Amino acid sequence: MVGTVADQRGEVPSTASPTAAPDPSDWVEAFVSCGSNLGDRSAHLSGALAALKAHHGMRVTATSSVYRTAPVDHLDQPDFLNAVIRLATVLPPLTLLRVLQHIETRHGRQRSTRWGPRTLDLDLLLHGRTRCDTGELILPHPRMTQRAFVLVPLCELAPDLRHPGTGLSMRQHLQQLSPRQVVQRIGPLRAPPIPGEFS
């Protein structure tokens, strides 16, 4: 299997040394979608942001507002809170994916029902201009252009960003969506510091 395997404690080690600065050319822009509709939804999103900020293989460069959205596909569940986080990272896509999955697990994520309720859902939307389908990871995220809860916060950060597959901007993709996908802005996404989260 390609990528970094979790150690015996279930932790994903970083590929970047906290004392050695990566070459500037190694940093890649990535976007992560965050969602929660179980438990303390705001706390789960804030905790995810804090964990990403604490990881020395990446830098959080911007965060969208938090939005309340109705569920899609599996409708019989609570409303979600959603946001998008922009990163600069030296981690390759599969390693970043495993970091995101590790954070989900620490927040009690259960994968019993596809598109079902979840404490925390972290989706890697874009990793630079990478296009791949490994069976474990598809980039760009295959449904990102179909979801207002992704495109609205993403357009808040990068409306003119071009989709690596379609060539359209995120603003153009959002304009193509049905107006029935309603999202409501709640407020800013904030993270309390979590010392040692990935030390």
Annotation marks residue 41 as catalytic: no
CATH number of 26-188: 3.30.70.560
Annotation marks residue 79 as catalytic: no
Residue 182: the pLDDT is: 87
Evaluate whether 34 touches 121 at the Cβ level (below 8 Å).
yes
Q: Is the pLDDT of residue 134 over 80?
A: yes
Instruction: Identify the active-site residue in 121, 129, 160, 171.
Output: 121
Burial of 101 (0-12, 13-18, 19+ CB in 10 A): middle
Q: Is the pLDDT of residue 15 over 50?
A: no
Largest CA distance in the chain: 49
* β 80-89/132-133 pair status: unpaired
88's CB contacts (< 8 A; 6+ apart) are: 27, 28, 29, 30, 58, 59, 61
Q: Is the pLDDT of residue 33 over 50?
A: yes
Annotation marks residue 123 as catalytic: yes
Annotation marks residue 76 as catalytic: no
Q: Is the pLDDT of residue 196 over 90?
A: no
Q: Is the pLDDT of residue 119 over 70?
A: yes
Instruction: Identify the active-site residue in 59, 106, 123, 171.
Output: 123
- Provide the 3-class DSSP secondary structure of residue 73: coil
Instruction: Identify the active-site residue in 109, 111, 114, 133.
Output: 109
| Average of per-residue pLDDT across 78-87 | 96
Write out pLDDT tens, residues 43-71: 999 999 999 999 999 999 999 999 999 98
State the Cα angle at 83 between 195 and 103, rounded to 5°.
Answer: 40
- The whole-model pTM stands at 0.84
Q: Is the pLDDT of residue 197 over 60?
A: no
Instruction: Identify the active-site residue in 86, 98, 118, 147.
Output: 118
